[in-house]
């Protein structure tokens, strides 16, 4: 094929882009084959729609070169080193993207999304994580060698393209036609066009990775009212308020869109210390308590047997910030990114707000740099003081990797911070975010039998080991018998499956551990991360004005047992064995879930489930949009209803929940 002139150059770049995109899609397709249920029709759809998205992506990617080709005169365009350099850098970037997409797909089961955007923003942690996880020098060297071979193969065609004679008018007329393509794509095309199947892997393969990351950046926050099914506002809030109503709770307003309500349980409040351990990627199925036979978590299994154990809890999402949002704000996930990273996320009604108003020393403790994922800003503006890696002395750090200090060092800091509060005669409330069970899975040597950096299994074992050491050291402290430890995961280790919302991949443990105060018990009621804060506050018997959407799991009068699961686009409402999914373009899907078999079967929609889901999701969206979660009221601190003083927390639980 002959490539001549500026049009030939554009054609050469187009063919190169298409070939690399096809290779990338083929590699990912082979990777996804076990989960695809591939047939000829599905393969045709994936390749055809994939080619379309590759063309759309090229129309955007080619804009800089197109402008260059239109503007520069012939004498500059004929200077070959510029064209050589442009082509070499472009093909190198495409080869690098192939490797990056494979690694990303291998870990997350998707094309680029919000996570990839974070990788671009938080370069220090991410670059170091990549360096510690992969043979980076070898990879870059191999890419350079392959790219050199590609360049030499097309160099002659590039030279032919430089032999051109044009006028500015001709270039403007022909170039303007090409310029219309990205404009049309911007106005007409969106990522939902890649939904060629109910199989999530097929949809990801039909997309283009570069287009996907641009779409994720563009759709950082999705307008619920525009993209999702909804109902009449009055009916939505009647449903939501009805689901939140309880005999111990009183709405401040009899009707309307305000969900503020007073919670005034019987008995005296328990000013116990609370330490919430948010374990990175701790799927329930890692624990022997939930059936794992590999003995990865002997310490957590022992603690669970001595604790209030919730066996049917589900994470709201697949990211740490989504879990922190649910635990701190007690609200269902909304489409787009977490509240932790959104604008206007200051002064929200939060768990920290309640505890601070009760006189607690409230802290968010993290072993890494808390600017990552906007965590420091969010917590510092919602009732917490910040303790992160910058607050660790050199003597307090024995091991660190890309994400921060190891869990042992982190827990050592937790104990020291607790001692500070105790010495000042203050009850303390800490939310602690761990990192060791995260790629590159490196940790101090000699702690577990799996060598450091060997993979997830070692990360889980070391995280469990560190929890065991925390228990040993905490027992030595004078405040231990007056402290409640809450152990919960931020999300599961991975959630990539054929189905976009695989319910079993959102199942996480919740352990409330206080051996001097809480009798061991197992609670099997379905619940959500958003229910953790109200449940712990219920155990403390606190009176307060609540704007939480979550409920006390131990409250037998609470409404239907339900949970919320999500991706950044799909919102799932789980109740009984039914899953309702709200998707963009106002789509509604309804399924029956076999949790044990991991099977999901589509069934006819039942309106009651839809109305409940709209109450939670549409209602929460409107509350946030109208800033009704922000600010405080004069009734945030209430006097509890006085009743005979229970001897301990276990007796309080017996009185309140008939344990």
Alpha-carbon distance of 568 to 536, in angstroms, equals 28
Partners of 641 in beta bridges: 266
Fold (CATH) for 262-553+624-643: Alkaline Phosphatase, subunit A (3.40.720)
| Residue 475 pLDDT | 97
| Residue 253 pLDDT | 85
| Residue 119 pLDDT | 63
pLDDT at 116 over 70: no
Alpha-carbon distance of 333 to 318, in angstroms, equals 11
- Classify 444 in phi/psi space as left (phi over 0), alpha (psi -120 to 50) or beta: beta
Cα-atom radius of gyration of the chain, to the nearest Å? 28
**Counting beta carbons within 10 angstroms of the beta carbon of residue 558, is it exposed (0 to 12), middle (13 to 18) or buried (19 or more)?**
buried
Of the pLDDT bands very low, low, confident and very high (cuts 50, 70, 90), residue 623 is: very high
Alpha-carbon distance of 171 to 523, in angstroms, equals 72
Q: Dihedral angle at the C-alpha atoms of 323, 324, 328, 333, nearest 10 degrees?
A: -40
| Residue 160 pLDDT | 78
Of the pLDDT bands very low, low, confident and very high (cuts 50, 70, 90), residue 209 is: confident
Vertex 336 angle, CA 631 and 558, to 5°? 60
Sign, CA dihedral 100-104-107-110, equals negative
Mean pLDDT of 57-64: 88
| Residue 439 pLDDT | 86
Greatest CA separation for the chain: 96
- Summarised one tens digit per residue, pLDDT across range 78-94 is 788 888 888 899 899 99
pLDDT at 633 over 50: no
- 131-140, 286-295, 438-447, 562-571: segment of lowest average pLDDT: 131-140
Alpha-carbon distance of 185 to 55, in angstroms, equals 10
Cα–Cα distances in angstroms (integers) from residue 647 to residues 516, 517, 518, 652, 654, in the given order:
12, 10, 12, 8, 11
pLDDT at 564 over 90: yes
pLDDT at 562 over 80: yes
- 186-200, 401-415, 529-543: segment of lowest average pLDDT: 186-200
β-pairing verdict for 571-575 and 562-566: antiparallel
Residue 386 in tokens? 């910040």
Answer with the residue of higher pLDDT: 373 or 473.
473
Give which of 359, 382, 6, 399 is closest to 168, Cα–Cα. Answer: 6
| Residue 600 pLDDT | 86
DSSP summary character for residue 54: H
Residue 639 in tokens? 């006097």
Among all chains, which residue has been given the structure tokens 């959407």? 549
Partners of 404 in beta bridges: 401
- Summarised one tens digit per residue, pLDDT across range 155-177 is 888 777 777 777 777 777 777 77
Alpha-carbon distance of 536 to 513, in angstroms, equals 11
β-pairing verdict for 261-263 and 544-546: antiparallel
pLDDT at 639 over 50: no
| Residue 124 pLDDT | 62
User: 65-79, 96-110, 215-229, 395-409: which has the highest mean pLDDT?
Assistant: 395-409
- What do you get for the CA distance between the two ends of the chain, in Å? 80
% of the chain exceeding 90 in pLDDT: 56
Domain boundaries, the chain: 5-218, 262-553+624-643
- Summarised one tens digit per residue, pLDDT across range 642-655 is 433 344 455 544 54
Single pTM value for the model: 0.77
| Residue 581 pLDDT | 95
Residue 441 in tokens? 């899975």
Question: Which residues have a Cβ under 8 Å from the Cβ of 363 and sit 6 or more positions away?
Answer: 384, 385, 386, 387, 417, 428, 429, 430, 431
pLDDT at 416 over 90: yes
Dump the DSSP string for 192-218: GGG--SS-HHHHHHHS-HHHHHHHHHH
- What 3-state class would DSSP assign to 509? strand
Give which of 127, 121, 117 is closest to 371, Cα–Cα. Answer: 121
The number of angstroms, rounded, from the C-alpha of 388 to the middle of its chain's C-alpha atoms is 20
């Amino acid at each position: 094929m002959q490539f001549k002139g500026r049009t030939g150059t554009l054609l050469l770049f187009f063919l190169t882009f298409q070939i690399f995109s096809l290779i990338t899609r083929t590699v990912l397709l082979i990777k996804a084959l076990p989960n695809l249920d591939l047939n000829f029709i599905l393969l045709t759809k994936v390749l055809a729609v994939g080619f379309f998205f590759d063309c759309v992506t090229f129309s955007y990617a080619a804009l800089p070169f197109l402008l260059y080709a239109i503007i520069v005169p012939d004498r500059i365009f004929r200077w070959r080193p510029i064209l050589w350099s442009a082509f070499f850098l472009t093909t190198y970037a495409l080869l690098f993207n192939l490797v990056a997409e494979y690694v990303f797909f291998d870990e997350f089961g998707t094309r680029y999304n919000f996570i990839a955007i974070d990788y671009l923003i938080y370069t220090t942690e991410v670059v170091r994580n990549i360096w510690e996880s992969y043979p980076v020098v070898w990879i870059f060297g191999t890419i350079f060698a392959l790219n050199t071979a590609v360049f030499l193969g097309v160099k002659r065609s590039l030279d032919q393209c430089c032999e051109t004679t044009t006028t500015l008018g001709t270039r403007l007329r022909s170039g303007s036609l090409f310029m219309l393509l990205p404009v049309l794509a911007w106005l007409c095309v969106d990522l939902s066009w890649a939904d060629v199947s109910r199989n999530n892997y097929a949809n990801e393969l039909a997309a283009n990775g570069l287009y996907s990351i641009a779409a994720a950046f563009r759709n950082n926050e999705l307008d619920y009212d525009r993209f999702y099914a909804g109902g009449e506002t009055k009916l939505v809030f009647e449903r939501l308020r009805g689901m939140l109503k309880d005999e111990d709770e009183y709405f401040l307003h009899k009707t309307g869109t305000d969900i503020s309500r007073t919670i005034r349980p019987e008995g005296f409040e328990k000013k116990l210390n609370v330490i919430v351990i948010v374990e990175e990627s701790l799927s329930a199925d890692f624990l022997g308590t939930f059936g794992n036979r590999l003995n990865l978590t002997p310490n957590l299994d022992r603690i669970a047997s001595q604790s209030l154990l919730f066996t049917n809890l589900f994470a709201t999402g697949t990211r740490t910030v989504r879990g922190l949002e649910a635990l701190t704000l007690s609200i269902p996930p909304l489409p787009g990114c977490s509240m932790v990273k959104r604008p206007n996320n200051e002064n929200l009604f939060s768990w920290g707000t309640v505890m601070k108003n009760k006189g607690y020393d409230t802290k968010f403790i993290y072993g890494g740099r808390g600017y990552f994922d906007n965590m420091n800003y969010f917590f510092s503006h919602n009732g917490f003081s910040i303790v992160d890696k910058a607050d660790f002395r050199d003597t307090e750090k024995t091991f660190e990797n890309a994400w921060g200090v190891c869990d042992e060092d982190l827990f050592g800091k937790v104990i020291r911070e607790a001692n500070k509060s105790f010495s000042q005669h203050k009850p303390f409330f800490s939310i602690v975010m761990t990192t060791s069970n995260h790629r590159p899975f490196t940790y101090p040597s000699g702690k577990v039998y799996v060598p450091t950096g060997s993979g997830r299994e070692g990360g889980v074992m070391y995280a469990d080991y560190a929890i065991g050491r925390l228990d040993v050291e905490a027992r030595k402290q004078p405040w231990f018998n007056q402290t409640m430890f809450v152990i919960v995961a931020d999300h599961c280790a991975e959630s990539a499956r054929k189905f976009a919302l695989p319910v079993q991949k959102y199942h996480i443990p919740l352990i409330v551990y206080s051996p001097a105060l809480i009798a061991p018990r197992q609670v099997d009621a379905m619940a959500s991360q958003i229910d953790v804060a109200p449940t712990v506050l219920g155990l403390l018997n606190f009176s307060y004005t609540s704007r939480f959407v979550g409920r006390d799991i131990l409250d037998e009068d609470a409404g239907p047992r339900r949970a919320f699961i999500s991706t950044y686009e799909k919102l799932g409402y789980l109740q009984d064995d039914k899953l309702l999914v709200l998707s963009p373009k106002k789509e509604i899907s309804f399924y029956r879930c076999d949790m044990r078999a991991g099977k999901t079967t589509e069934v006819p929609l039942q309106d009651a489930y839809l109305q409940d889901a709209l109450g939670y999701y549409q209602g929460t969206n409107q509350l946030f949009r109208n800033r009704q979660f922000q600010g405080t009221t004069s009734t945030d601190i209430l006097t509890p209803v006085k009743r005979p003083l229970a001897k301990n927390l276990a007796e309080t639980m017996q009185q309140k929940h008939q344990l």
